[in-house]
Structure formats: structure tokens, C-alpha cells
């Protein structure tokens, strides 16, 4: 089922078994509806329950409207349910309550419809679900038991292929002169079988009720709901209880084998995970800590644009071998002379690139700001370090990838956009490369936030940037700083590369539950979210709950996946 949907049992004192929960095959992607397989209410107030949630945080409230085709038979407990970005993945309960009319009108069928409306186009869906329910009448008395017999047979009478059973109890009014045997027969043993198939009453136990359970049988065929008959015969040496056919009762065995829709054919090719990671931590803000290394290992990226690329306890080659493997390539930007000159200077903030695929070219561009004098733009060199670091990577397919790792200025990041984009555009022309840029843009919340990137023409000329298409965590939070309050880090793909993006499958989130626009990786969120009774943290070894909150942890990694088609 959709990972966060709760299993709701259809409770009924009239039914000895339980229904099987299934996702509705009609529900569009983005929604999760979980509901009992046997759909009914009762005039005694028996309710039908289903739950609904969303697979991603909506941009606006989603309003679900619940209506019934016959309000005399069933009514929703609430006619509307609203889900917002804060509680989108929490299942919301919808209850349809059977209505009593005090008329012997038999069992009535009616329709329940659920629609979804929202200012978010992804969830402005219209009709999501239509379920046909039966409201069982409680004003029709069962046929009276033959004289001398006490029979308790509740309504409604059904079984299910999931093993749901129906119970009938019998007793005698007076002590028989000889043993009385009740034989229970089924017209279709492939749908329902009595357990036991015979009961015996004597003068000693005649008034003690004995129960026969009719157990639904599973045939593993999509044969629909099948009616069958149960006959009970009474025989004995006492003429008062030698009756022959005592009871004939029709039951329905509800099918649990729904037609399966073939899985859509997945495109064939090579999946490549792209990641930007400013995830240094510890007293020296390096990648020496187990917290930083656990995060890099768990995310399993193929190409990493890494910032503040510093290690002190081993060489960079040893670091890459330990975290990724000896088959990986890497390139680390230089440390400028303004620092001590050593490759691991604690004040340096060099960028780097780590790749599963061969790095065939590397280089750096000096960071620059754009200024204006007398209305004319010009560029000046920026701070001492944080060179714009790039690598051309020989990825599968007929085009190489230009990967750029950056760490923009805390306050003046927007003034770097024009000169940086000019460098990328110039380099891209050399080889018609796909382009990915990843790093700390320092775009804080508010006026200095995402708007600077969304409104930058130079960035939008090269890269696909669309409002709302943010990588996010399980709770819909797209912010990436340690306190998760600012959208600092970006992973942007050139428009042609964007066409190859696929949802990120990570941890327990796969298939329709994957992240369509990428994922923000925070071990603290993994520790707080569950798949059933299992913490999501167990899906991302070797991470520990507090890794993302480790001392001086910089930012959360951002992940996006692409699929390079086979030639």
C-alpha cells in the first residue's frame, strides 16, 4: 500500500472475520486511499471507514468532498475533509454511517463518491473514488426457527475469500428422547465450508448453544463475489427433532482477487544519482567525522558536488576509497595562497567533485561579483577561496556531463550569477555538454531566498528552475540548512538534462512513493518517520539518528536522479 496509509478494520459484531485492506486501483498518483474490501453499512449504525492521505506536500489546501447517492441509507460523518502541507502524509479518516428508516425495505445499495479540489493543479483532481455500498436492513425479521429449535443467525450473512467467517448457533428447547444430529452442508465448498460439519445434542447438553462457523475459501481467481447456500438438516430417534431440512441460508463470499493492472513499462537506461553536499562537521568542519561519512555512504550518489572539501586524518584518495570505493574519481579545488598553503588548511573552503564515472577534464574559475558603474556592468574578483570548480565527466550515452561545484557568497551571492553563468555557457559550448550545478547558493529565507534564483534570467537561460519543484524530505520541508529554516543549497540541471530526471527512490520510498523533484536528506527526519512499525532510519545504513544534527554540521545533502537512455 502507499507507505503511510493506516490499516482500518471494518468492525462489526455481526461478522466473525475481518476485511482485507487494499489501495484503490482507480486512485491517481499523488493520493493514497485505503479501504476495506467488503463495503457495507447497517441500519443499526454500522459504519464503513476509509482513510486518505497525499504522497507529497500540496502547494495549497486540498479539499475532499464526500457525497452519497441516497442520504436515507448512508451519510458521511463529515461532508468535507481538508489536507494541507503540514499533515499531508497523515491518513485522514472518512466514515460513512448507515441510516435507520424503521421500514422493512430490505438491503439497499447506494454510492459514495469522493472528490478532490485544490488550487494546486497536482491535486485538483475531481472524482477520486466511487464505492458501491449496501446498507443492511434491520427491520426484516429472519424466518422463525422451527418449533423446538433455538437458532441465532445474524445479518448480514457473508464470508470473504480472505478467511472472513459467518457464525450460526443452535440449541434445543427441550431435552430430546435420543441424540439429535445437525448436519451442515454447503452448495459450493470452494466458496464456503462449515466448521464443524455436524453437531450432536443429547439430553445432557441440549440447551447449550453450539456454533457452526462458515469459513470463506480463497480460490485465487478473479471470479467476483459468489453466492452459495448453506443447508442444515436435523435427524434423530426422537420424532420431535427428526425434521429433515431445518434451515436453508444464502451467503455471499466476497472476492479478494482484484484485477491487476500491469506495471507501466519502465524506461531502460543507466540511472545516475546526482548530489550536492555541504555536509562537513565537527570541530574542524571537515569530512573526518563518522556523521559526515555515514551520510555520504547512505545516499549512494554517483556524482557528488561537494563543498568545504577538507579531510585531515587521511589523504583525499584514502577518503574517497573509504566512503565510495577505489573505482571512484575525484577532483578537489585548490587552496589559495592567502591561506597557509597546505592542502588541508582549516580556513579554506575548496569545492570538489567525486564521480563514479571517469573525470576527463577539470578546472576552476575565479569567483567574481558583478558591479555597476555609470549604468555599465563590470566584474571584480571575489573572496580568497571558494573557486567555482568544474569537471567534465564521461557518463554513459553519447554526451558528456559538465558538473560545477560552487559555494557562493553569504551576502552577495546574487551578484555572482551573471559571471558564473557566462563561464558555464562558454564551457558548455566546447562539447555540447549536459550541465549540472550544485552547491551552497546561500539563498536565505525571505527576500534573499529562492526568488533570486527564480528571477535570474542568466540562470533560467541554461537551467530548469520552476517554482514548487523543490527537493524535499518526508515531511515536505525543502529547506537545507542545519536548522531546516533556509533554502541554501541548489542542485540544478540544464534544460536538456532535466528531461531525463526521474523520481528519487531512497530508503523505503520507491515506485509511486518516490520523490518526484528530488530529496533533502536529513537523518533526524528518518528517525522520526515510520513505515508501519519500522523506523525509516533502518532503511539507510549506516546512518545514526543524530548524524544530521552533529556538531557544526553544515547543510543537508540534496539528491536528484536522472536516467540516461540506452542507445
Contact 82, 120 (CB under 8 A): no
Instruction: Scan for cell 504522497, then name that residue.
Output: 55
Please give the backbone phi and psi of residue 202, each rounded to the nearest 5 degrees, phi first. -125, 180
209 and 337 housed in the same domain: no
**Which pLDDT tens digit goes with each residue over 446-501?**
655 788 899 899 999 999 999 889 999 999 999 999 999 999 999 999 999 999 99
Supply the CATH number for residue 544's domain.
3.60.10.10
Beta strand residue intervals within 237-332, DSSP E: 244-254, 269-277, 303-306, 329-332
Arithmetic mean of pLDDT, 380-408: 91
| Measured distance CA(300)–CA(252) in Å, rounded | 51
Among residues 556, 434, 423, the alpha carbon closest in space to that of 487 is found at: 556
**Which pLDDT tens digit goes with each residue over 85-142?**
889 989 999 999 999 888 877 778 899 999 999 888 788 888 888 888 888 887 766 6
Cβ count near 22 (within 10 Å): 14
Instruction: Scan for cell 574519481, then name that residue.
Output: 329
281 and 236 housed in the same domain: no
| Measured distance CA(252)–CA(158) in Å, rounded | 5
Assess if residue 214 is contained within a domain: yes
Assess if residue 455 is contained within a domain: yes
Among residues 2, 46, 56, the alpha carbon closest in space to that of 24 is found at: 2
pLDDT of residue 158: 85
336 and 426 housed in the same domain: yes
H-helix segments, 304-390: 316-323
pLDDT of residue 146: 87
- Model confidence at 58: pLDDT above 50: yes
369 and 420 housed in the same domain: yes
Supply the CATH number for residue 224's domain.
2.60.40.10
**Which pLDDT tens digit goes with each residue over 369-379?**
888 888 888 78
217 and 299 housed in the same domain: no
Total of domains in the chain: 3
Residue 227: pLDDT band by 50, 70, 90 thresholds? confident
Assess if residue 3 is contained within a domain: no
| Measured distance CA(384)–CA(350) in Å, rounded | 10
Q: Taking the mean position of all CA atoms in its chain, how far away is CA 410? A: 35
Please give the backbone phi and psi of residue 60, each rounded to the nearest 5 degrees, phi first. -150, 160
- What spatial distance separates the first Cα and last Cα of the chain, rounded to whole Å? 35
pLDDT of residue 6: 25
Among residues 113, 93, 95, 79, the alpha carbon closest in space to that of 46 is found at: 95
- Domain of residue 107: give its range: 21-136
> At 254, which helix (H) or strand (E)?
strand 244-254
346 and 199 housed in the same domain: no
Mean pLDDT of the residues in the chain: 86
Residue 161: pLDDT band by 50, 70, 90 thresholds? confident
pLDDT of residue 28: 52
pLDDT of residue 15: 35
Structure-derived torsion over alpha carbons of residues 425, 428, 433, 436, reported in degrees to the nearest 10: -50
247 and 285 housed in the same domain: no
434 and 561 housed in the same domain: yes
Assess if residue 344 is contained within a domain: yes
**Which pLDDT tens digit goes with each residue over 308-352?**
999 999 999 999 999 999 999 999 988 765 554 454 555 678 999
Instruction: Scan for cell 558564473, then name that residue.
Output: 420
Contact 256, 200 (CB under 8 A): no
Q: Report pTM.
A: 0.56
Assess if residue 323 is contained within a domain: yes
| Measured distance CA(535)–CA(295) in Å, rounded | 17
Amino acid at each position: 500500500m502507499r507507505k503511510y496509509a493506516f490499516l482500518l478494520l471494518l468492525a462489526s459484531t455481526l461478522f466473525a472475520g475481518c476485511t482485507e485492506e487494499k489501495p484503490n486501483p482507480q486512485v491517481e498518483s499523488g493520493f493514497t486511499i485505503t479501504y476495506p474490501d467488503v463495503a457495507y453499512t447497517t441500519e443499526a449504525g454500522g459504519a464503513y471507514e476509509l482513510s486518505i492521505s497525499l504522497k507529497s506536500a500540496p502547494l495549497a489546501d486540498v479539499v475532499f468532498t464526500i457525497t452519497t447517492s441516497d442520504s436515507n441509507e448512508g451519510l458521511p460523518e463529515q461532508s468535507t475533509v481538508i489536507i494541507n502541507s503540514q499533515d499531508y502524509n497523515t491518513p485522514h479518516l472518512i466514515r460513512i454511517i448507515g441510516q435507520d428508516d424503521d421500514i422493512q425495505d430490505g438491503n439497499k445499495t447506494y454510492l459514495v463518491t469522493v472528490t478532490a479540489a485544490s488550487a494546486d493543479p497536482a491535486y485538483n483532481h475531481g472524482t477520486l473514488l466511487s464505492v458501491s455500498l449496501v446498507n443492511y436492513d434491520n427491520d426484516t425479521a429472519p424466518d422463525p426457527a422451527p418449533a423446538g429449535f433455538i437458532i441465532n443467525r445474524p445479518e448480514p450473512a457473508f464470508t470473504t475469500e480472505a478467511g472472513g467467517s459467518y457464525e450460526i448457533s443452535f440449541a434445543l428447547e427441550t431435552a430430546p428422547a435420543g441424540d439429535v444430529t445437525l448436519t451442515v452442508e454447503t452448495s459450493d465448498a470452494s466458496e464456503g465450508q462449515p466448521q464443524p460439519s455436524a453437531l450432536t445434542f443429547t439430553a445432557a447438553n441440549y440447551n447449550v448453544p453450539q456454533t457452526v462457523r462458515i469459513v470463506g475459501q480463497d480460490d485465487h481467481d478473479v471470479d467476483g463475489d459468489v453466492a452459495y447456500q448453506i443447508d442444515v438438516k436435523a435427524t434423530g430417534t426422537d420424532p420431535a427433532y427428526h425434521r429433515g431440512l431445518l434451515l436453508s441460508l444464502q451467503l455471499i463470499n466476497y472476492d479478494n482477487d482484484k484485477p491487476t493492472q500491469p506495471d507501466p513499462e519502465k524506461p531502460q537506461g543507466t540511472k545516475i544519482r546526482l548530489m550536492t553536499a555541504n555536509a562537513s562537521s565537527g570541530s574542524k568542519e571537515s569530512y573526518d567525522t563518522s556523521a559526515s561519512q555515514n551520510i555520504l555512504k547512505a545516499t549512494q550518489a554517483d556524482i557528488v558536488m561537494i563543498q568545504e572539501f577538507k579531510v585531515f586524518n587521511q589523504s583525499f584518495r584514502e577518503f574517497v576509497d573509504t566512503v565510495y570505493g577505489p573505482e571512484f574519481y575525484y577532483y578537489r579545488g585548490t587552496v589559495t595562497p592567502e591561506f597557509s598553503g597546505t592542502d588541508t588548511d582549516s580556513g579554506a573552503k575548496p569545492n570538489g567533485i567525486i564521480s563514479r564515472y571517469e573525470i576527463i577534464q577539470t578546472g576552476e574559475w575565479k569567483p567574481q561579483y558583478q558591479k555597476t558603474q555609470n549604468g555599465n556592468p563590470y566584474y571584480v574578483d571575489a573572496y580568497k577561496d571558494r573557486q567555482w570548480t568544474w569537471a567534465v565527466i564521461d557518463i554513459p550515452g553519447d554526451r558528456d556531463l559538465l558538473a560545477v561545484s560552487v559555494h557562493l557568497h553569504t551576502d552577495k551571492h546574487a551578484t555572482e550569477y551573471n559571471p558564473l553563468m557566462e563561464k558555464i555557457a562558454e564551457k558548455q559550448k566546447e562539447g555540447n555538454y549536459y550541465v549540472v550545478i550544485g552547491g551552497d547558493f546561500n539563498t536565505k529565507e525571505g527576500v534573499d531566498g529562492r526568488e533570486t534564483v527564480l528571477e535570474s534570467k542568466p540562470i533560467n537561460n541554461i537551467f530548469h528552475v520552476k517554482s514548487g519543484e523543490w527537493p524535499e524530505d518526508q515531511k515536505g520541508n525543502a529547506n537545507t540548512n542545519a536548522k531546516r529554516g533556509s533554502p541554501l543549497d541548489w542542485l540544478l540541471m540544464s534544460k536538456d538534462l532535466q528531461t531525463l530526471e526521474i523520481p528519487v527512490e531512497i530508503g523505503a520510498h520507491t515506485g509511486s512513493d518516490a520523490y518526484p523533484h528530488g530529496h533533502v536528506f536529513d537523518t533526524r527526519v528518518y528517525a522520526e518517520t515510520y513505515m508501519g512499525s519500522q523506523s525509516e532510519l533502518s532503511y539507510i545504513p549506516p546512518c545514526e539518528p543524530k548524524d544530521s544534527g552533529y556538531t557544526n554540521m553544515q547543510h543537508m545533502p540534496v539528491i536528484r536522479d536522472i536516467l540516461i537512455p540506452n542507445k
